[in-house]
Amino acid sequence: MKRPLILVTNDDGMFAPGIKNLVNVAKKLGDLVVVAPDSPQSAKGHGVTMSVPIRLNKVDVFGPDIEAYECTGTPVDCVKLAKHVLLKERQIDLCLSGINHGSNASINIIYSGTMSAAMEASIEGIPSIGFSLLDYSFEADFKGASHYAELITSHVIKHGIKDCNLLNVNFPKLPLDKIKGIRVCRQAEGRWIEDFTEGLDPRNRKYYWLTGQFTIDDRGEDTDIHALSEGYVSIVPSMHDLTKYAAINSNQLMEKLG
Amino acid sequence: MKRPLILVTNDDGMFAPGIKNLVNVAKKLGDLVVVAPDSPQSAKGHGVTMSVPIRLNKVDVFGPDIEAYECTGTPVDCVKLAKHVLLKERQIDLCLSGINHGSNASINIIYSGTMSAAMEASIEGIPSIGFSLLDYSFEADFKGASHYAELITSHVIKHGIKDCNLLNVNFPKLPLDKIKGIRVCRQAEGRWIEDFTEGLDPRNRKYYWLTGQFTIDDRGEDTDIHALSEGYVSIVPSMHDLTKYAAINSNQLMEKLG
């Protein structure tokens, strides 16, 4: 069987340990092209760069055998450039994004550059997986994450993703032998309670700096947050159709307006 | 009945005609606080500013009766600051975002700063409506958009949004008397076919500049794109739960991995 062509990207930038670990996993399973931002792009959401030009530079970060480019744009820009410029003549079989330093479970999928890159590829019809580890540290232990990223990726290469084109995978912050397994779940309902640090800058102007705590009211046992808290890897099959179908009929009264 | 407190925001910045038109509609229906970016933030997606501080400046843009602030951050930052700093002690009854210059129908909801601001408010439990007009021009005719924005907003103030907290409303580019009415629809499946303009900058470095054409393969007659093409205002009840529920069971094979 032909080795699949795998596009690897992330939002923490080309020099983050997470993408290095993901490249080490992915190169066992396919031929890689890496296109990643040249600087950290966390929490950039599904941003796209339109008002300024962007650049691509070929770099030797992962050794001479792996074609890698750093991009001056967002994670979504990386995917667009890969699909429509760099790999225009080739078929991308799979897109892997991450391994993100920090959780993208629950509603964090919405803010996440890692998941937006994966979603962008999925919109293009490319099966895509975003991987995130619940540890912000650049010294994080990626052994568990790498082990399960390999299992999940090989499964997807063999069997595809059923009824879906996008997986949001999160790894608990645990040593490999403490991870209990994998659970396929739904996205937990949660939100950030923001707490802005206020201060005065050197020119005596007031500033606000975002901090905040993530909070979960959702007590369901079928969520990603619950699976992670129990020591499992969480997989949420995800999509870009934001329609709330259940609410279409109940709001049809609005058609009578005017 | 107490007048509702309405938060108004957008992604085109404080000086765009779209937000002026929305303020003129909203001030008839409630008490307003406007918090909008100090520069255009189109296609910023659900970006959040974490690595630098942000600032708020009180401005007199809409007359002395309307409290307005420009913010150095993204549309989502505007909502976070409004909710957690400016209006911490008050209840925001409704959030209106827009009127965006350009369509946010179909998958454009994902890239849109306008819709991300509205979604952020909806995550906070605030009923929210994002409005967009299918006309990029700053000289666009907002009469039809304003008329229907008022009808929809008054309806939501009176009746709430049923089974949902977020509406994605798009207006066709038509004079008021040519708009046929309102349709509550689903998000059309579509995608951008990118076409990067390539060039050399003054320093002879290659650049890529995003252009592209939006394309629809979805021929459904129940979509926002179809409603707009027929001359209707489209309303898509929307949400931030991206779980593809139908795919949870079919991917449970992955739980057996390892």
pLDDT in tens, A154-167: 999 999 999 999 99
Q: Give yes or no for A46 touching B (CB within 8 A).
A: yes
Which of B46, B54, B165, B233 should we substitute to test contact with A (largest number of A Cβ atoms within 10 Å)?
B46
Does a structural domain hold residue B203? no
Cα distance from A174 to chain B (closest Cα, Å)?
A: 17
Element (H, E) at A167: strand A166-171
**What single-letter amino acid sits at A90?**
R
Mark out the alpha helices in chain B (DSSP H runs).
Answer: 17-26, 75-81, 108-111, 113-123, 143-159, 224-229, 246-250
Does a structural domain hold residue A257? no
Does a structural domain hold residue A184? yes
For the segment A72-86, what is each residue's pLDDT rounded down to a tens digit? Answer: 999 999 999 999 999
State yes or no: pLDDT of A45 exceeds 90.
Answer: no
**Residue in chain B nearest A57 by alpha carbon:** B206
Q: Residue A166 forms beta bridges with which residues?
A: A128, A238
CB atoms within 10 A of CB B37: 27
State yes or no: pLDDT of B121 exceeds 90.
Answer: yes
Q: Give yes or no for B244 touching A (CB within 8 A).
A: yes
State yes or no: pLDDT of B77 exceeds 70.
Answer: yes
Q: Residue B44's pLDDT is what? A: 73
Residue A69: give its domain's CATH number: 3.40.1210.10
Give CA torsion, residues B90, B95, B101, B104, to 10 deg.
150
B1's CB contacts (< 8 A; 6+ apart) are: none
DSSP helix/strand/coil, B171: strand
Range of the domain at B83: 5-188+221-242
Q: A220 or A205, which is more confident?
A: A220
Q: Residue B154's pLDDT is what? A: 97
Q: Give yes or no for B223 touching A (CB within 8 A).
A: no
Question: What is the DSSP code (8-state) at residue B82?
Answer: I
Cα distance from B2 to chain A (closest Cα, Å)?
A: 23
Question: What is the DSSP code (8-state) at residue B227?
Answer: H
For the segment A161-218, what is each residue's pLDDT rounded down to a tens digit? Answer: 999 999 999 999 999 999 999 999 999 999 888 778 888 988 888 888 888 888 898 9
What does the pLDDT average to over A234-244?
96
Print burial letters for B162-197: b (CB count within 10 Å at least 16), e (below 16). Answer: bebbbbbbbbbbbeeeebeebbbbbbbbbbbebebe
State yes or no: pLDDT of B258 exceeds 80.
Answer: no
Does a structural domain hold residue A135? yes
* Average pLDDT of every residue of chain A: 93
Q: Do A53 and B205 touch (CB under 8 A)?
A: no
Q: Which of A66-75, B110-119, B204-213, B232-241 has the lowest mean pLDDT?
A: B204-213
Distance CA A42, CA A36 (A): 12
Does a structural domain hold residue A207? no
- In this complex, which of A166, A199, A242 lies closest to B239 when CB atoms are compared? A242
User: Is residue A47 within 8 Å of A74, Cβ to Cβ?
Assistant: yes
Q: Residue A138's pLDDT is what? A: 85
Q: Do A255 and B53 touch (CB under 8 A)?
A: no
Q: Do A123 and B182 touch (CB under 8 A)?
A: no
- In this complex, which of A45, A55, A243 lies closest to B186 when CB atoms are compared? A243
Q: Residue A164's pLDDT is what? A: 94
Q: The complex's ipTM? A: 0.90
Q: Do A83 and B194 touch (CB under 8 A)?
A: yes
pTM: 0.92
Q: Give which of B245, B218, B246, B221 is closest to B232, Cα–Cα.
A: B221
Does a structural domain hold residue A177? yes
Which of B244, B249, B250 should we substitute to test contact with A (largest number of A Cβ atoms within 10 Å)?
B244
Q: Do B48 and A47 touch (CB under 8 A)?
A: no
Does a structural domain hold residue B81? yes
State yes or no: pLDDT of B48 exceeds 90.
Answer: no
Q: A38 or B144, which is more confident?
A: B144
User: Is residue B238 within 8 Å of B164, Cβ to Cβ?
Assistant: yes
User: Is residue A198 within 8 Å of A208, Cβ to Cβ?
Assistant: yes
Q: Residue A183 forms beta bridges with which residues?
A: A234
Does a structural domain hold residue B196? no
Q: For chain B, how many structural domains are there in total? A: 1
Q: Do B207 and A55 touch (CB under 8 A)?
A: yes
Cα distance from A31 to chain B (closest Cα, Å)?
A: 23
**What single-letter amino acid sits at B205?**
R
* Average pLDDT of every residue of chain B: 93
For the segment A2-36, what is each residue's pLDDT rounded down to a tens digit? Answer: 899 999 999 999 999 999 999 999 999 999 999 99
Which of A254, A255, A256, A257 should we substitute to test contact with B (largest number of B Cβ atoms within 10 Å)?
A254
Give percent of chain A with pLDDT exceeding 70. Answer: 99
- In this complex, which of B42, B52, B251 lies closest to A164 when CB atoms are compared? B251
Distance CA A15, CA A111 (A): 21
Q: Residue A1's pLDDT is what? A: 64
Q: Do A111 and B244 touch (CB under 8 A)?
A: no
Q: Do B241 and A55 touch (CB under 8 A)?
A: no
Q: Tell the residue number behind the tokens 């974490």, with chain if given.
A: B50
